[in-house]
């Protein structure tokens, strides 16, 4: 039976196609070690200006964005797909994927995970009686808490931009 990500990939409108994926310095290291590549990311400004509104997460705003408003993201092919998107979903093993990819569809800020999930996953593809969390192999809330902690630990490895405040530390 196909996993949810595989069914979603066939729709051609996955999170890997419609989002710019920020990657931490740790993500860069993990992906480079596993793939032998080092030209899989670039620095660019958000194509959706609303992404820059990080009022609910000042830590994200202070560390992820550089002073010119750009941030490190995975490159995309000419069609707009993440370069690691294959026919059945991400070609990277779960432990190598960027932390924000592993966390999706969990919503979060520096303080922790929100109760509600993001609205991007195609829940209409779930089998009857199945929850989104059940359908996402390896993406339990318990794992999400660990990935969230790791994400914010790695975010502070970034050089803080001009809005940096020393009191911005993750509460995880």
Q: Say what the pLDDT of residue 120 is.
A: 75
- 126 with 85: CB under 8 angstroms? no
Domain layout of the chain by residue ranges: 4-155
Q: Which two tokens stand for residue 164?
A: 């940096």
Distance, CA of 18 to CA of 28 (rounded, Å): 21
pTM of the model: 0.84
Residue closest to 99 by CA, chosen among 27, 158, 161: 27
Distance, CA of 150 to CA of 90 (rounded, Å): 20
pLDDT single digits (tens) 54-68: 888 989 989 999 988
Q: Say what the pLDDT of residue 165 is.
A: 43
Q: Which two tokens stand for residue 63?
A: 């560390």
Residue 3 has pLDDT above 50, yes or no: yes
Q: Say what the pLDDT of residue 117 is.
A: 77
Residue 7 has pLDDT above 80, yes or no: no
């Amino acid at each position: 039976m196909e996993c949810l990500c595989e069914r979603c990939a066939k729709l051609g409108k996955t999170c890997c196609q419609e989002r710019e994926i920020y990657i931490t310095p740790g993500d860069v290291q993990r992906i480079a070690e596993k793939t032998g590549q080092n030209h899989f990311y670039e620095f660019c400004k958000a194509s959706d200006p609303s992404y820059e509104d990080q009022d609910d997460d000042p830590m994200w705003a202070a560390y992820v964005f550089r002073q010119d408003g750009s941030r490190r993201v995975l490159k995309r092919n000419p069609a707009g797909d993440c370069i690691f998107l294959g026919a059945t979903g991400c070609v990277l093993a779960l432990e190598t994927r960027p932390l924000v990819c592993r966390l999706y569809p969990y919503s979060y800020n520096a303080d922790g995970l929100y109760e509600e999930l993001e609205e991007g996953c195609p829940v209409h593809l779930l089998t009857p009686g199945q929850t989104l969390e059940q359908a996402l192999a390896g993406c339990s809330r318990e794992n999400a808490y660990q990935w969230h902690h790791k994400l914010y630990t790695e975010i502070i490895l970034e050089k803080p931009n001009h809005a940096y405040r020393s009191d911005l530390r993750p509460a995880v």
